[in-house]
Amino acid sequence: MSSDVARGVYSSSKKSSKTDSKRNLHNSSDPVLSTTVTLQAIDKYAERNHSAKSLEGAKYKDRPNTSKNNKKYKDKKAEAQLRRHDEKRVAAAVMAAEAEILDTEVGGFIETENEMERTHKLKQTELSSHVDEQTSDQIYDLSLTSYSPYNVTYDRPGRHLLLTGRTGHVAIMDALTRTLQRELFLTDNGKELNDIRSSTFLHNSSMFALAEKKHIFIYDSVTGAEVHRLGDHIDPLAIDYLPYHWLLASVGRAGFLKYTDTSTGDKVSEHRTKLGPCSVMRHNPYNAVMHLGHGNGVVTMWSPSVSQPLVKILAHRGPVVSLANDLGGNYMVTAGSDMQVKVWDVRTFKVVHSYFSRRAVCDLDISQTGVLAVGSGTDVTFWKDAIREKQKEPYMKHRVLNGGVQVKGVRFRPFEDVVGIGHSKGFSSIVVPGVGSSNYDSFENNMFADKKQRQEQEVRSLMDKLRPEMIQLNPEEIGGVERDKKNVMMEKREIAASADQKPKKEKKKARGRNKISKKLARKHANIMDEGKKKLMEKKRSEAESKGRGDDFMSPAEKKRKKGLEEGGALSRFFK
Amino acid sequence: MKIKALSRSVEGNTRSNSGDIKKLSRNLDPKHKPLERAREYTRAVTSAKLERMFAKPFVAALEGHVDSVACSAASRGHLCPFVTGGVDGEIRVWDLASRRTVWNNKTSHTGAVNGVCISNDGKSFFSCSTDKTIKQWGLGVKMAGGRKEKRKRKEKGVLDSDSDSDGDSDSDSEVKKSSTSSDSSKNPAPLNSWLFSDTFKSMDHHWNEEQFATASDEAVQVWSHHRSNPIQTYEPFNGTDSCNVVRWNPSERSLLAHTSSDRGIGLHDTRASSSLRKTVLRMRSNCLEWNPMEPMNFVVGNEDHNCYSFDMRKLSQPTMVHKGHVGAVLSIGWSSTGREFVTGSYDRTIRIFNYRSGTSRDSYYAKRMQRVFCVNYTADAKFIVSGSDDTNLRIWKARSNEKLGQQLVREERATNYRNTLVKKFEHMPEVRNIVKSRNMPKFVKKQTAMAQIQHASAKRKEGNIIKHSKKGSVAWKGERAKAIVKEYK
């Protein structure tokens, strides 16, 4: 897709110099530059479902009229409406691009001063001396050994951190201030060890769900009280939450993918994957399709309204260990126990490129800026631009606690240059510059929301709750016209037309008359060809010689013969 | 090595004290706003629902008339005066803001008042009746009401109409006296009256000059304020029947349109002695109004339940057929924007049409409302006033879900956003069904269903005729062409 390339060009120009892009936007004296900026703005901000064709009609002031086929519509009114709509869309995209100069923050980065310097040689200890105190405070380790290994989950604004120890320790922390908000020990008074497989926050950080040994449980983050037990979800291995649909999804040992609406408590759907136990599940944030990685190396994509997988990809020769989706929804990265890490284009379902890992990969994550984190063994490596093109060396590397631990989970903290690593000896937080999105939207993900804002956000998101049927591979199709291809339309029309007609009634025929051989014989009975004539002649002459020539006479001949034989007055008429 | 990492502090991103405005950050990147279209669509459905939830069009019913309200007139230049004439010969002047009668005369005419119109200066109004008279009445009326109304009036910029004109100070003072007690036994006297040989059906005032036109049983007459006899009289083409309605063109000073009982619509030029042209429809037209913003166009309301938009330059075919009523259309009122008009019908409903749409945008009815004889938009295009057979005048909102009174800026912005969303997805079945659904009275619902069946069957029949006739001998006739029977030039 060309739009992605253009997007890349746009963001890189923005990074290099802000003033340049500003000049481009406002200086219409240079038509080429301003046009490219406009096009990039359209690519980035205009609705994606509009094809380039519809853009041809748009006459924006900076845009030279490049349209080749100036299609004249029959309906002038509709044409004018379309044109006006396009103009508005382009103008809105340009305005959104122009508003980028109002962005207050610039993203983090590491710049090398000479070619000998390598960013992946940079250690956290060195890094902490380069950054301000608040950032260096984010580099810390928590030693938690009794309930390890630990899983890490951040909420959507990246303010709260949920740490779940496998055997029953749960901690909710304010990730910004590094204070413990609530701590839970779900071990039945220490008598029995729990088995927490997976965890997720719900629509905001006030509640979270845990996949425990038997069921999913929902807890309140403030009081730590158990709010709900989802009895339908039996033996879950992985859970995930779709915030815009308010759906909690789980998949377990039986291989059933189950969706529950957390606003009503109803079970929305239950799909049988038929692929055995599954513990790898992440949703694509672009279209809310659930991606499942299975034990036979297959990745399946699911929507709650379709009982079959939307897509099935044979991704690895061996179990899929982990998968991650990028924010734009175009790429998926999978890791298998065949030591491969593969980058997939989700639009074509093809491998873009693949990496070989020396050690078994245990977890993957993709940051908001597209940095890939790979946790394997004791290390976590970070790969910049690894999705777009194949990289030779990592951007950064981190060996947790100088080795001796097994990494369990890696998660980027949204809107910050921080990465949380859960491992067999607790939790580590490190700083990786340039992984977080530099600007947050207060109306979407407000990490500094006060009580009132949080309440309002909750009500609004409930009002905008999307229906489960809206989950499909291309979310831009919603509210549009479903258009079949021409031949499909024709077929449908024919079927509809034939449905109106009465079916032809079969003729009643005697038994055995319908054999092919008999049918053919009947058909050919009265056909006279050379062979048949000869046969007839032969039979006739034979019969005549035997004195049975009458059998082969025509009725007229018979009559004549009879007349001649009978004689009398009329015999003169028979010659 | 140069290193920079993101670092956000709580102090830098939240307000320091509760009096400050909350600090907000924006990121318009669509990557951070996933499922945008689905969310927009969901909001559009919610907005459509809200629109129907808040649809409460009825504002007030004004009592006063003791018989059917036959005709009404709003001032063209001013917001306030609104005049109605009753079938029993009573005339009332209303202050719509305070919802009160400010002037009335129970014995204005001895017959039904068939037409009222307000003069251009707003100081007097005219009425015509079946009793063969035209009367001019003073309108030097103080709009009643307390201080609140007065302030309201000042805000609206209504001209103070209590300054006396020179010539008729006597009668004016009398009008004022009567206005203080609306039920006074002494009825006010007209400023002028004209006696004629014929009954009047309709009248209209010239938009600029001191002239008015009347439609009577035999012809159309043009009158001057200062002459006792009509200055011109026109008989329509093939003029054997009576004229129903007459209306002056808003921009062409000498152009008149009328409808007649022989199902015709005609145009007259007052500079010429005979009529310009005429077209005959299938059924009689009951009302005619010019579009105030596009004065070459006019709409007629027909006995066949439809309204027809015409371009006066081309009377051979209407530009649009507006369908929806299930009874004869009796009156039409244009919005001052020229984009919408309202129709009152014999089927006891009023409908609002976009001037370019074949179906109505909205339809109103009330439990006790009877046949609607007159409808008008107020000059601010926000309200509709209807007068009906049940002797009441009703005020409706032009947009049924609009909030009355001043809105907060945020409220207005939210409303605009909602409206835009509904417009964006108006063709989606879910949104369309919500927006278009109306609970109509049983009678109207049944009749509409029946009309649809009849229309479908007529169409099928036409198709069959064409199918079984010689090729090319019978052609399809469009819905618009069907309406016209004959055109005279």
Q: Which two tokens stand for residue B333?
A: 């009122």
| Residues from chain B contacting residue A244 (CB–CB below 8 Å) | 34-35, 38-39
Domain boundary among B401, B431, B463: B401
According to the model, what pLDDT value does residue B176 have?
A: 38
Least confident range from A570-574, B157-161, B200-204: namely: B157-161
The number of beta carbons lying within 10 Å of the beta carbon of residue A399 is: 16
**Any domain includes B278:** yes
pLDDT band at A346 (very low <50, low <70, confident <90, very high): very high
Residues B252 and B288 in one domain: yes
At A540, the pLDDT band (50, 70, 90 cuts) reads confident
- Please report residues of A whose CB lies closer than 8 A to that of B3: 108-111, 122, 127, 130-131, 433
Mean pLDDT to the nearest integer, A278-306 = 96
* Three-state DSSP state, A55: helix
Same domain, B177 and B265: yes
Give a yes or no: residue B7 inside a domain: no
Question: For residue range B99-148, what is the model confidence (pLDDT) as tens digits?
Answer: 999 999 999 999 999 999 999 988 899 999 999 999 999 987 665 444 44
pLDDT value at position A532?
86
Residues B243-272, mean pLDDT to the nearest whole number = 92
The CB-side HSE value for A103 (13 A sphere, CA atoms) comes to 21
pLDDT greater than 70 at residue B81? yes
A122 vs B1: CB contact, 8 Å cut-off? yes
The answer to whether the beta carbons of residues A232 and A250 sit under 8 Å apart is: no
Placement of tokens 């939450």 in the chain: A241
Same domain, A422 and A540: no
* Residue B168, pLDDT above cutoff 90: no
B37 interfacial to chain A (CB closer than 8 Å):
yes
pLDDT of A57 above 70: no
Give me the residues paired with residue A353 across strands: A343
> Last residue of some domain: B358, B374, B401?
B401
Q: Structural domain of residue B418, as residue ranges?
A: 408-455
Q: Which residue has the higher pLDDT, B328 or A187?
A: B328
Residue B235 pLDDT class (50, 70, 90 cuts) = confident
Question: pLDDT tens digits, residue range A81-101?
Answer: 889 988 998 998 899 888 888
Question: A438: which chain B residues are within 8 Å (Cβ-Cβ)?
Answer: 6
Is there a contact between B34 and A476 if contact means CB atoms under 8 Å apart? no
Residues B420 and B280 in one domain: no
What residues in B contact A131, CB-CB < 8 Å? 3-5, 7
Indicate if B212 and B246 belong to the same structural domain: yes
Task: Give me chain A's average pLDDT, please.
Answer: 85
Structural domain including A423 reads: 143-442
Residue A148 and residue A295 in one domain: yes
Percent of chain A scoring above 90 in pLDDT: 62
Residue A565: pLDDT over 90: no
- For A203-221, write each residue's pLDDT tens digit: 999 999 999 999 999 999 9
Which range of A504-513, B171-180, B444-453 scores highest in mean pLDDT? It is B444-453
In a domain, A120, yes or no: no
Q: Choose the closest CB to A176 out of B10, B22, B32.
A: B10
- pLDDT confidence bin for A502, thresholds 50/70/90: confident
Question: Does pLDDT of B480 surpass 90?
Answer: yes
Q: What integer is the mean pLDDT of B456-482?
A: 93
Based on the fold, state whether residues A301 and A185 are members of the same structural domain: yes
Question: Per-residue pLDDT for B461 more than 90?
Answer: yes
Give yes or no: residues A66 and A154 share one domain: no
Tell me, yes or no, whether B71 lies in a domain: yes
Residues A98 and A150 in one domain: no
**Candidate from B6, B35, B43 with C-beta closest to A244:** B35
Contact A131 B7 (CB under 8 A): yes
Tell me the per-residue pLDDT of A314-342, one tens digit each, with 9 for 90 and over. 999 999 999 999 999 999 999 999 999 99
**Is residue B21 a part of any domain in this protein?**
no
Give me the pLDDT at residue A287, please: 94
Q: Which of A102, A133, A165 is where one domain is finished?
A: A102
Statement to judge: residues B88 and B115 lie in one domain: yes
State residue A560's pLDDT score.
Answer: 75
Is residue A469 included in any domain, yes or no?
no
Q: Is A254 part of a structural domain of the chain?
A: yes
The pLDDT value recorded for residue B218 is: 81
Cα–Cα distance for residue pair B51/B55, rounded to 1 Å: 6
pLDDT at B416: 95
Q: Does some domain include residue A505?
A: no
Of A71, A102, A133, which residue sits at a domain end? A102
B410 touches chain A (CB under 8 A): no
Average confidence (pLDDT) over A281-289: 96
Element spanning A83, H or E = helix A76-98
* Rounded average pLDDT over B268-296: 92
Which helix (H) or strand (E) covers residue B422, if one does?
helix B409-424
Q: Does the residue A358 lie in any domain?
A: yes
Q: What is the mean pLDDT of chain B?
A: 88
Same domain, residue pair B107 and B230: yes
Q: Are residues A311 and A375 in the same domain?
A: yes
Q: Reply yes or no on whether the pLDDT at A50 is more than 50.
A: no
**Is B395 found in the same domain as B425?**
no
Question: Is there a domain that residue B394 lies in?
Answer: yes
A54 pLDDT tier (thresholds 50, 70, 90): very low
Q: pLDDT above 70 covers what percent of chain A?
A: 85
Mean pLDDT over residues B16-20, rounded?
Answer: 90
Q: Indicate whether B153 belongs to any domain.
A: no
Token pair 């939830």 is found at: B53
Rounded mean pLDDT, B284-302: 96
Output the domain CATH number for residue B130.
2.130.10.10
Whether B350 is in a domain gets the answer yes
* Residue B234 contacts residue B274 (beta carbons within 8 Å): yes
pLDDT of residue B167: 36
- For residue B143, the model assigns a pLDDT of 57
The whole-angstrom distance between A339's CA and the closest CA on chain B is: 31
- HSE-up (13 A, CA, CB side) for residue A237: 18
User: Per-residue pLDDT tens for B35-45?
Assistant: 999 999 999 99
- Indicate whether B396 and B374 sit together in one domain: yes
Give the integer Cα–Cα distance in Å for A321 and A301. 16
Please tell me the distance in Å from B402's CA to the nearest CA on chain A: 22
Q: Are residues B369 and B426 in the same domain?
A: no
- pLDDT (0 to 100) of residue A77: 83
Among A274-278, A513-517, B218-222, where is mean pLDDT lowest? A513-517
Q: Give the residue-averaged pLDDT of A351-379.
A: 95
- Are B314 and B420 in the same domain? no
A437 and A562 inside one domain: no
User: Are residues A225 and A352 located together in one domain of the fold?
Assistant: yes
Q: Contact A44/B30, CB-based, under 8 Å? A: yes
Cβ neighbours, 10 Å, residue A21: 21
- Closest in B4, B34, B41 to A108, CB measured: B4
B210 Cβ neighbours under 8 A, 6+ residues apart: B119, B120, B224, B225, B226
B421: chain A residues, CB-CB within 8 Å: none
Distance from CA of A413 to the nearest CA of B (A): 12
Domain for residue A220, yes or no? yes
Q: Which tokens belong to B426?
A: 């108006």
Please report the pLDDT score of residue A30 as a whole number.
54
CATH number of the structural domain spanning residue A416 = 2.130.10.10
Q: Classify residue A301 by burial, with Cβ atoms within 10 Å: 0-12, 13-18, 19+.
A: buried
Same-domain check for residues A377 and A314? yes
Judgement on whether residues A273 and A156 belong to the same structural domain of the protein: yes
Q: Is the ipTM of this complex over 0.90?
A: no
Q: Regarding predicted confidence, which is higher, A35 or B73?
A: B73
Name, of A14-18, A73-77, A437-441, the range with top average pLDDT: A437-441
Q: Do both B362 and B432 map to the same domain?
A: no
Is residue A75 a part of any domain in this protein?
yes
Q: Which residues, at least 6 apart from B313, have a Cβ–Cβ distance to it below 8 Å?
A: B296
Pick the range with the lowest mean pLDDT from A101-105, A136-140, B448-452.
Answer: A101-105
DSSP string, B249-288: -SS-TTEEEEEETTSEEEEEETTSSSEEEEEEESS-EEEE
Residues in chain A: 575
CB A89 within 8 A of CB A47: yes
pLDDT at A31: 55
> Looking at beta carbons, which residues of chain B come within 8 Å of A443?
24, 26
B44 contacts in chain A (CB < 8 Å)? 479
Q: How many domains does chain A have?
A: 3
pLDDT tier at A518 (50, 70, 90 boundaries)?
A: confident
pLDDT above 80 for A26: no
pLDDT tens per residue across span B399-443? 999 999 899 999 999 999 999 999 999 999 999 999 999 999 999
pLDDT at A201 over 90: yes
Please name the residue ranges forming H helices in A430-501.
Answer: 451-463, 486-500
> Could you tell me the CA-to-CA distances from B95 to A348, B302, B315, B403 in Å, in that order?
70, 31, 39, 21
Q: Which of A396, A414, A442 is the last residue of a domain?
A: A442
Domain boundary among B382, B401, B420: B401
Residue B147 forms part of a structural domain = no
Express each pLDDT in B314-335 by its tens digit.
Answer: 999 999 999 999 999 999 999 9
Per-residue exposure over A516-532, b if at least 16 CB sit within 10 Å of its own CB, e if not: eeeeeeeeeeeeeeeee
Whether B375 and B441 map to the same domain: the answer is no
Mean pLDDT along residues A46-62: 42
CA A258 to CA A249: how far, in whole Å?
5
Report CA B191 to chain centroid distance, whole Å.
Answer: 29
Burial class (CB in 10 A: 0-12, 13-18, 19+), B208: exposed
Residue B230 and residue B198: Cα distance in Å, rounded?
12
A182 & A293 share domain: yes
Domains contained in chain B, number? 2
- The one-character DSSP state at A575 is -
Q: What is the pLDDT of residue A374?
A: 97
pLDDT at A509 over 70: no
Supply the pLDDT for residue B347. Answer: 95
Residues B455-479, mean pLDDT to the nearest whole number = 93
Asked whether residue A152 falls in the same domain as residue A93, the answer is no
In this predicted structure, the answer to whether residue A567 has a pLDDT above a threshold of 80 is no
* pLDDT for A85: 85
